[in-house]
């Protein structure tokens, strides 16, 4: 996923060399989009926590691309009547737990997107696959970071927090997370490092 996304962006930059230097690449991506009415999309969630969202195709630009700050998304794929498998259920709970821990960091949003019910606008949708975790960093939304190994969902909350801290694009996000982590005592750290999914299987 990461390699394919990087390659396509390189090709796009080469193609767009004829554009004036003051043309913003991310703005062009935003403007080249499928009209919302043509997208297959769920409705955005209601009464959601401030920093944990259901990401949907019709609001993808507002929720992810145009939003200042860092956005973490977990992608899964199932039909409207299909029950998510154990890994998807666990990853959703993992993101919810992480979002609660860093709720005081307003520049970071975590969320999930069901690719089976949402046609994410290109070029973003072309690279998203089920059971992947992405960081859409601040001012780098066209080049997301993918966590390379989800270990079948066998992650700890600490694994997720480490991924967010090392891939976040906004300095405020990193500083806030460092402040949160600095308050963890040893029992709390052991709890965050526990592999709950492995324990539940």
Each residue's pLDDT tens digit, 54-93: 999 999 999 999 999 999 999 999 887 788 899 999 999 9
Find where tokens 């998203």 sit.
Answer: 128
47-62 burial: b if 16+ Cβ within 10 Å, else e: eeeebbbbbbbbbbbe
Query: Comparing 36 with 8, which gets the higher pLDDT?
Result: 8
Q: Which residues pair with 53 in a beta bridge?
A: 111
Give the separation between CA 80 and CA 72, rounded to whole angstroms. Answer: 23
Flag whether pLDDT at 14 surpasses 60.
Answer: no
Say what the pLDDT of residue 149 is: 87
* Average pLDDT of the segment spanning 107-132: 93
> If you average pLDDT over each of 13-17, 29-33, 76-80, which comes out highest?
76-80
Count CB atoms within 10 A of the CB of residue 186.
7
Flag whether pLDDT at 32 surpasses 60.
Answer: no
Give pLDDT tens digits for 131-146.
Answer: 999 999 999 999 999 9
């Amino acid at each position: 996923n990461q390699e394919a996304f990087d390659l396509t962006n390189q090709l796009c930059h080469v193609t767009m060399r004829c554009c004036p230097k003051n043309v913003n690449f991310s703005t062009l991506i935003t403007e080249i989009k499928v009209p919302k009415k043509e997208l297959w999309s769920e409705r955005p969630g209601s009464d959601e926590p401030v920093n944990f969202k259901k990401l949907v195709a019709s609001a993808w630009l507002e929720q992810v691309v145009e939003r200042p700050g860092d956005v973490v998304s977990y992608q899964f794929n199932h039909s409207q009547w299909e029950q998510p498998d154990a890994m998807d259920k666990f990853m959703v709970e993992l993101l919810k737990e992480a979002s609660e821990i860093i709720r005081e960091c307003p520049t970071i949003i975590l969320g999930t997107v069901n690719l089976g019910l949402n046609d994410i606008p290109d070029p973003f949708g072309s690279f998203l696959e089920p059971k992947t975790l992405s960081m859409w960093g601040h001012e780098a939304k066209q080049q997301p970071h993918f966590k390379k190994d989800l270990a079948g969902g066998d992650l700890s909350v600490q694994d997720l927090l480490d991924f967010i801290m090392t891939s976040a694009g906004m300095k405020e996000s990193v500083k806030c997370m460092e402040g949160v982590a600095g308050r963890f005592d040893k029992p709390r750290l052991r709890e965050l490092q526990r592999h709950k999914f492995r324990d539940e299987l």
